[in-house]
Amino acid sequence: MTNVTTPNGFKLDNAGRRVVVDPVTRIEGHLRVEVNVDSNNVIRNAVSTGTMWRGIEVILKGRDPRDAWAFTQRICGVCTGTHALTSVRAVENALGIAIPENANTIRNIMQLALYVHDHLVHFYHLHALDWVDVVSALKADPKATSALAQSISPWPMSSPGYFKDLQLRLQKFVESGQLGPFKNGYWGHPAYKLPPEANLMAVAHYLEALDFQKEIVKIHAVYGGKNPHPNWLVGGVPCAINVDGAGAVGAVNMERLNLVSSIIDQSIAFIEQVYIPDLIAIAGFYKDWLYGGGLASKSVMSYGDIPEYANDYSDKSLQLPRGVILNGNLNEVLPVDLHAPDQIQEYVTHSWYKYPDEKRGLHPYDGITEPNFALGPNAKGTRTNIEAVDEAAKYSFLKAPRWKGNAVEVGPLARYIIGYAQGKPEFKEPTEKLLKALDVPVTALFSTLGRTAARGLECQWAVHKLRAAQDKLVATIKAGDSSTANVDKWQPSSWASQAKGAGFTEAPRGALAHWIKIKDGRIDNYQCVVPTTWNGSPRDPQGNIGAFEAALLDTPMADPNQPLEILRTLHSFDPCLACSTHVMSEDGQEMTRVTVR
Residues 423-482 interacting with another protein (rule: CB under 8 A)? 482
Rounded to whole angstroms, how far apart are CA atoms 185 and 206? 16
Query: b vs e for 114-145, b when ≥16 Cβ sit within 10 Å of the residue's Cβ?
Result: bbbbbbbbbbbebbbbbbbbbbbbbebbbebb
Site string for another protein, 550-579 (x = CB under 8 A): -----------xxx---x----------x-
Rounded to whole angstroms, how far apart are CA atoms 508 and 515? 19
Q: Which stretch binds another protein (CB under 8 A): 35-43, 269-277, 532-540, 588-596?
A: 588-596
Q: How far is the CB of 593 from another protein (least distance, A)?
A: 6
**Binding footprint of another protein, residue count (CB under 8 A):** 126
Give yes or no for residue 44 binding another protein (CB under 8 A).
Answer: no
Q: Which stretch binds another protein (CB under 8 A): 234-242, 273-281, 313-321, 547-555?
A: 234-242
**Taking the CB of residue 62, how many other CB atoms lie within 10 A of it?**
10
Q: Which stretch binds another protein (CB under 8 A): 288-296, 314-322, 380-388, 421-429?
A: 380-388
User: By CB under 8 A, what part of segment 107-126 binds another protein?
Assistant: 121, 125-126
Residue 325's beta-bridge partner residues? 300
Rounded to whole angstroms, how far apart are CA atoms 86 and 89? 5
Q: How far is the CB of 356 from another protein (least distance, A)?
A: 20
Q: Which of 190, 247, 335, 341 binds another protein (CB under 8 A)?
A: 247
Residue 251's beta-bridge partner residues? none
Give yes or no for residue 508 binding another protein (CB under 8 A).
Answer: no
Give yes or no for residue 141 binding another protein (CB under 8 A).
Answer: no
Do the Cβ atoms of 53 and 69 come closer than 8 Å? no
Give yes or no for residue 250 binding another protein (CB under 8 A).
Answer: yes
Q: What 3-state class would DSSP assign to 129?
A: helix
How many CA atoms are closer than 13 Å to the CA of 560, on its beta-carbon side?
17
Site string for another protein, 273-312 (x = CB under 8 A): ----------------------------------------
Q: Which of 71, 115, 131, 534 binds another protein (CB under 8 A)?
A: 71
User: By CB under 8 A, what part of segment 184-223 binds another protein?
Assistant: 184-186, 207, 210-211, 213-214, 217-218, 220-223
Rounded to whole angstroms, how far apart are CA atoms 56 and 528? 10
Q: Which stretch binds another protein (CB under 8 A): 87-95, 173-181, 462-470, 504-512?
A: 173-181
Q: Which of 29, 142, 510, 575 binds another protein (CB under 8 A)?
A: 29
Q: Which of 385, 478, 479, 480 binds another protein (CB under 8 A)?
A: 385
Q: Which is nearer to another protein, 53 or 427 (CB)?
A: 53
Rounded to whole angstroms, how far apart are CA atoms 192 and 246? 60
Q: How far is the CB of 100 from another protein (least distance, A)?
A: 8
Which residue stretches of 122-159 are H helix?
A: 142-152
Q: How far is the CB of 418 from another protein (least distance, A)?
A: 28
Q: Which is nearer to another protein, 6 or 369 (CB)?
A: 369
181 by Cβ neighbours in 10 Å (0-12 / 13-18 / 19+) ranks as exposed
Give yes or no for residue 580 binding another protein (CB under 8 A).
Answer: no
Q: How far is the CB of 489 from another protein (least distance, A)?
A: 12
Query: CA torsion angle for 364, 366, 371, 377 (degrees, to 10)?
Result: -90
Do the Cβ atoms of 326 and 406 come closer than 8 Å? yes
Rounded to whole angstroms, how far apart are CA atoms 17 and 35? 8
3-class SS string, 114-125:
HHHHHHHHHHHH
Residue 241's beta-bridge partner residues? 252
Q: How far is the CB of 235 from another protein (least distance, A)?
A: 7
Q: How far is the CB of 445 from another protein (least distance, A)?
A: 26
Do the Cβ atoms of 453 and 442 come closer than 8 Å? no
Fill in the DSSP letter of residue 591.
Answer: P
Q: Which stretch binds another protein (CB under 8 A): 162-170, 272-280, 460-468, 530-538?
A: 162-170
Q: Which of 259, 280, 326, 330 binds another protein (CB under 8 A)?
A: 259
Q: Which is nearer to another protein, 255 or 429 (CB)?
A: 255
Q: What 3-state class would DSSP assign to 526?
A: strand
Q: How far is the CB of 436 from another protein (least distance, A)?
A: 33
Q: Which of 35, 37, 46, 75 binds another protein (CB under 8 A)?
A: 75
DSSP H or E run through 82: helix 82-95
User: By CB under 8 A, what part of segment 308-367 binds another protein?
Assistant: none
Give yes or no for residue 588 binding another protein (CB under 8 A).
Answer: yes
Q: Which of 13, 38, 67, 101 binds another protein (CB under 8 A)?
A: 67
Residue 381's beta-bridge partner residues? 386
Q: Which is nearer to another protein, 3 or 25 (CB)?
A: 25
Q: Which of 42, 70, 330, 558 binds another protein (CB under 8 A)?
A: 70
Q: How far is the CB of 485 from another protein (least distance, A)?
A: 4
Do the Cβ atoms of 212 and 117 come closer than 8 Å? no
560: preceding bond cis by omega (within 30 degrees): no
Do the Cβ atoms of 162 and 204 come closer than 8 Å? yes
DSSP H or E run through 168: helix 160-175
Query: CA torsion angle for 282, 283, 286, 291 (degrees, to 10)?
Result: 140
374 by Cβ neighbours in 10 Å (0-12 / 13-18 / 19+) ranks as exposed
Q: How far is the CB of 549 from another protein (least distance, A)?
A: 17
Q: Which stretch binds another protein (CB under 8 A): 149-157, 407-415, 432-440, 488-496?
A: 488-496
Rounded to whole angstroms, how far apart are CA atoms 275 and 123? 8
Q: How far is the CB of 173 from another protein (least distance, A)?
A: 6
